[in-house]
Amino acid sequence: MLFKKIGLVARRNSPNIGEPLRRLSALLRQLDCAIILDTDTANEHSMSDVQIVPADQIGKVADLVIVLGGDGTMLSIARLVAPYRIPLVGINQGRLGFMTDVSVTDIETVIPRILDGDFVPEERMLVQAKVSRGDHDIHSALAFNDVVFSRGSLGSMIEFEIFIDDQFVYSQRSDGLIVTTPTGSTAYALASGGPILHPTVPAIALVPICPQTMTARPIAVNDASTVEFMLTRGQEVKVHFDGHSHFDLQEMDRVTIKRYRNSLRILHPVGYNYYDMLRHKLHWGERLF
């Protein structure tokens, strides 16, 4: 076996995930693999006969992490394991995901092949964001999908300036801005009119959210670029990281975004095709009537 210590992370508050989780655990025991569960998964499914560690520690002890649930669960664990360069495999609960592409019905046939090294690897980039106020850095976070700037509950647009590699690009008045990785290009950015970026494209895209001017358009830049957002006007403005955490911004705060030093490796089953997945998820080619 190429991987012997397997971390398992299941979607929270999802009772239906218990059965495939136990099937997978039984399979891994048959294959003489060590099983490691994050604390939440172990507690929710009453599993005590395995090694249990906090989710942010699973990357230290596992060779591979298998995620059961959906793309949201993949997002949350991706940021935790990226510093350790641990690959991920995603098992979906019945609906094909953009990243979770192994069906629960195929666990017994696909997982042994992946553990033996029979898989299609794919490298996905992350970005790291740093919030600065005056001369001090006050917050930092990783994002696998996107970094999103949004207006507050008062409803007024926000105003900001964008710099790329210290060069002024534009000032904008809008509901916000999405700074997306190729992975995140099929999420919120797509709904906001952004481009679909193949995961292998070395780029970061900036997608305005309901800009005041019709000439504002998405722009893609090289992934080696440093993007800086400076809030010039706005109340209750927040910056969100993958929709899982956020930070409150004040006027003249700056947020610097650049590619994270590590990429994340996702292991797909043999036969995986990115365009097949897009066609299925986005219903391309279906008859309109």
The pLDDT tens digits for 125-144 are 999 999 999 999 999 999 99
What number is the average pLDDT over the span 78-84?
94
Confidence class of residue 289 from pLDDT cuts 50, 70 and 90? low
What number is the average pLDDT over the span 28-42?
96
At 41-63, the pLDDT tens digits run 999 998 878 999 999 999 999 99
pLDDT > 90 in the chain, percent: 87
132 in the same domain as 81: no
Pairing between β-strand 51-53 and β-strand 219-222 as defined by DSSP bridges = unpaired
81 in the same domain as 165: no
Contact 49, 107 (CB under 8 A): no
133 in the same domain as 76: no
At 252-287, the pLDDT tens digits run 999 999 999 999 999 999 999 999 999 988 989 876
Cβ burial 83-110 (10 Å sphere, 16+ → b, else e)? eeebbbbbbbbeeebbbbbbbbeebeeb
194 in the same domain as 217: yes
Residue 31 in any domain: the answer is: yes
Identify the domain containing residue 274 by its residue range.
5-124+263-282
Confidence class of residue 174 from pLDDT cuts 50, 70 and 90? very high
254 in the same domain as 151: yes
Does the pLDDT at position 154 exceed 80?
no
166 in the same domain as 219: yes
Nearest Cα neighbor of 203 from 194, 211, 191 is 194
230 in the same domain as 142: yes
Q: Which residue among the candidates 38, 71, 146, 242 is catalytic per the annotation?
A: 71
pLDDT at 70: 87
163 in the same domain as 243: yes
Confidence class of residue 96 from pLDDT cuts 50, 70 and 90? confident
Q: Is 71 a catalytic residue?
A: yes
254 in the same domain as 271: no
pLDDT at 206: 98
Confidence class of residue 288 from pLDDT cuts 50, 70 and 90? low
At 203-242, the pLDDT tens digits run 999 999 999 998 999 999 999 999 999 999 999 999 999 9
Counting the structural domains of the chain, the total is 2
3-state secondary structure of 282: helix
177 in the same domain as 85: no
How many C-beta atoms surround the C-beta of residue 44 within 10 A?
Answer: 19
Confidence class of residue 119 from pLDDT cuts 50, 70 and 90? very high
231 in the same domain as 194: yes
Rounded distance, CA 143 to CA 181, Å?
Answer: 9
Residue 195: which CATH number?
Answer: 2.60.200.30
275 in the same domain as 243: no
Residue 287 in any domain: the answer is: no
Q: What are phi and psi of 105, to 5 degrees?
A: -75, -15
